[in-house]
Structure 1
């Protein structure tokens, strides 16, 4: 029963993210910055709750010092990524489109409703899992090699490649698909996110079973 609650929280979060992203695409309120920053925000929230687990659920952590060290490493890495995401994805890749840059500003200052809804869902998921974590349902710390951070790593690399691919940075090759450029560019991000989220759910599920018995 407890395991089912854990899976429900993860699956509902993933479904909500997918729905809000599709609606954002339909309403043309999405960009590469939107997705990469959303992935960063997801990992940032997980890291914050790692620290909360350390301070309030330490008795259920097998090795608290290692747990805290990993959380600090994640936070440091995310801090570096934050600057890169804001500068490169927020400004550089879209500097020719003032509308997109303004839209990125809107996302950063939480003026984009779909982005805000997605972040709220991620936050509710963490609160939900933190609450049940206090009851020994799930106590597996996210590490710097977690599926979520791998998703962020790949998204950064993919974003740079996509930007170069669609802007003629590979010699004379320049693929021009007009208004479909944004949609084509962000689809791989969504696929990567879904794949690694599902992998992480499967990876963490056996640990939940161990805590139940």
Structure 2
């Protein structure tokens, strides 16, 4: 039986280092009141986009004959990522936070790259994507293994989890998840970070 989840390259140390850096930057954003559920889901969206883009650029540079294959893959995944972007921005960026002015301001700062911690996370993702691709340069010329990437699994589940957190948990316990309660942000974002760590750990 074929595995649904594509085998990811990297060691346990790599997974731990990625998780630690993202946890530290996200923790700082939570501490400074600059993190929301939109922040973390949008970060996962950028994670998938950056990794895909870096892999395709390196593949194209290594093997010009693969240009047609890369273009076909981009044509198939591009619309899906665009749909995800619209859904994430509209639902999690605005609709779910419409009554919370602080969250809306934070979401706008994330969307327009005015959130320092979010920008540092993006930069870290870009650097690690390039390093991982260079480290596994020989595998880029081979046919990709079938299955769904860990990043895509994280993105899919995060959207479902985010909808549950917003419309079931936050709405069900308004006294706990108040804008002035910094611990509410910790409770909301922690499951997403654990999800990312576990998926990447088991996809090694």
TM-score interval, normalised by the smaller of the two chains: 0.7 to 0.9
Determine the structure 1 residue equivalent to 2:54: 49
- Cα distance in 1 between the residues matched to 2:105 and 2:60: 39
Q: TM-score scaled by structure 2?
A: 0.80
- Post-superposition offset of 1:30: 0.4
From 28, 34, 39, the counterpart of 2:44: 39
- Post-superposition offset of 1:12: 2.9
Q: 1:89 to 1:19 in 2, by over 3 A?
A: same
Which ranges of structure 2 fall in alignment gaps of 5 or more residues?
A: 1-8
Determine the structure 1 residue equivalent to 2:82: 79
CA contact (8 A) 1:50 1:71 kept: no
Determine the structure 2 residue equivalent to 1:148: 151
Structure number with the bigger relative contact order (C-alpha 8 A, sep ≥ 6) is: 2
Q: 1:21 to 1:150 in 2, by over 3 A?
A: same
Work out whether 1:117 is the aligned partner of 2:120: yes
Work out whether 1:95 is the aligned partner of 2:94: no
Determine the structure 2 residue equivalent to 1:206: none
CA contact (8 A) 2:48 2:152 kept: yes
CA contact (8 A) 2:37 2:189 kept: yes
CA contact (8 A) 1:165 1:175 kept: no
Work out whether 1:187 is the aligned partner of 2:171: no
- Cα distance in 2 between the residues matched to 1:55 and 1:137: 13
CA contact (8 A) 1:167 1:175 kept: yes
Aligned positions, number: 190
Determine the structure 2 residue equivalent to 1:29: 34
- Cα distance in 2 between the residues matched to 1:143 and 1:14: 25
Determine the structure 2 residue equivalent to 1:160: 163
- Cα distance in 2 between the residues matched to 1:16 and 1:23: 11
Determine the structure 2 residue equivalent to 1:207: none
- Cα distance in 1 between the residues matched to 2:198 and 2:86: 26
Q: TM-score scaled by structure 1?
A: 0.77
User: What are the Cα deviations for residues 93-152 of structure 1, in whole angstroms up to 9, with x where unaligned?
Assistant: 100011211111101111111111111110001121233343x26667487721111111
- Cα distance in 2 between the residues matched to 1:142 and 1:22: 34
